Copies of this chain bind each other. A is one copy, B any other.
Amino acid sequence: MKAMYEKIKDEKNTKARLGKIHTNYGTFDTPMFMPVGTRATVKGLTKEELKEVKSGFILANTYHLWLRPGSKIIEKAGGLHAFMNYDGPILTDSGGYQVFSLAKNKEKDIVEEGVHFKSHIDGSALLLTPEKSIQIQNELDSDIAMSFDECPPASASYEYLKQSVERTLRWAKRGKAVHSNPKQALFGIVQGGAYKDLRKFSAEETVKLDFDGYSIGGVANDGESKEEMYQAIEYSIPYLPEDKVRYLMGVGEPIDLIEGVIRGVDIFDCVLPTRIARHGHAFTKHGRCNLHNAKWKEDFTPLEEDCDCYTCKNYTKAYLRHLITTKETLGGRLLSIHNIRFLIRLTEEIREAIKTDTLLAYRDSFLAKYKSQK
């Protein structure tokens, strides 16, 4: 079967929703945070550790897997689940975001057919089209595929964005036409930058194409303010159907998860928890903790006393600091486990607050403790 969303409950005071996604690998609760497994591995975690942090979907990157090892090899392996031996649900992105952000020298030529660009690995000339993106994702055999979209920079003009939104709609239609994996759901993507009318237009027209779920894109580029991100959600959500899941791409700051859910978002993904872990930083309820700091030298307590993750149950800040300052890989790995579990625990608390219609109070108490300081 295709991954399918089921709404369970609306929160009384906000647009937040409690729901479930039914997949071939089990049923998972929303709101949900998806760890990112760029190249068929979530950096720092084994599949067993992903289960232990209670991960639902993970995200894998079509662009990276297309280039290495190649989608044909993954298809021969029996698909992405078999290739990486992972028996949980996987969402693949379209490759669009990476083409726009990673292409060598940022040189790219956007034409109606698709995007001509040069590989960031060897500079070879490549063309990614809506059809090609879907074909690759069909071969990867992920549980949810994304439509190929253009991701314009935050600085793009209204005129440019208007044309871009229209082209992304034509691309979405072309991708849907060639989608041929009956076990794979296909999501559409709403673009339109910070413009209310473009978001409305993009959302309404994308919904007319009838996808299995909808994503809000263009909010995690460089340059948007938090206000613009929240507005982009507010401008898009009213036009999305109640019975389909809503996915905010590339967002992983704790407060943004809460604010996103309040505005009606169901799923998030972000590299943030693993990326800051590799730089020695941990999420805590009191803000980010920088393990390089000398004040942890003789602190023999866990990162968070009430955290149920492997790292907090087993290791002290003094030991983590030692691993981080000596650049031992176990350090980044232990912080990755904690940081992913932190965001997943956050979604568990958010779900609890939706059940009891207390999400706004939850946000306020979270903010009262949390400081963005490092």
B-contact 0/1 string along A331-360, CB 8 Å cutoff: 011000000000000000000000000000
Kindly provide the distance from the CB of A337 to the nearest chain B CB, expressed in whole angstroms: 10
Q: Report copies per complex.
A: 2
Quick check: is A68 within 8 A (CB to CB) of the other chain?
A: yes
- Chain B residues, Cβ within 8 Å of A297: 69, 73
Contacting pair A329 B333 (CB below 8 A): yes
Quick check: is A40 within 8 A (CB to CB) of the other chain?
A: yes
Quick check: is A19 within 8 A (CB to CB) of the other chain?
A: no
Contacting pair B298 A73 (CB below 8 A): yes
B-contact 0/1 string along A133-170, CB 8 Å cutoff: 00000000000000000000000000000000000000
Which residue of B39, B298, B333 is within 8 Å of A326 (Cβ)? B39
Quick check: is A14 within 8 A (CB to CB) of the other chain?
A: no
Categorize the interface residue count of chain A: 20 to 34
Closest to A315 in B: B85
- Chain B residues, Cβ within 8 Å of A47: 314
Contacting pair A43 B319 (CB below 8 A): no
B-contact 0/1 string along A72-103, CB 8 Å cutoff: 01001100000111000000000000000000
Contacting pair A40 B322 (CB below 8 A): yes
Contacting pair B40 A329 (CB below 8 A): no
State in angstroms the CA–CA spacing of A329 and B277 once bound together. 13
Quick check: is A251 within 8 A (CB to CB) of the other chain?
A: no
A selection of 13 A-B contacts at a CB cut-off of 8 Å is: A41-B328, A44-B329, A64-B326, A68-B325, A69-B322, A73-B298, A73-B318, A77-B316, A77-B319, A83-B316, A83-B318, A85-B314, A85-B319
Quick check: is A225 within 8 A (CB to CB) of the other chain?
A: no
Kindly provide the distance from the CB of A43 to the nearest chain B CB, expressed in whole angstroms: 7
Quick check: is A330 within 8 A (CB to CB) of the other chain?
A: yes
- Chain B residues, Cβ within 8 Å of A69: 297, 318, 321-322, 325
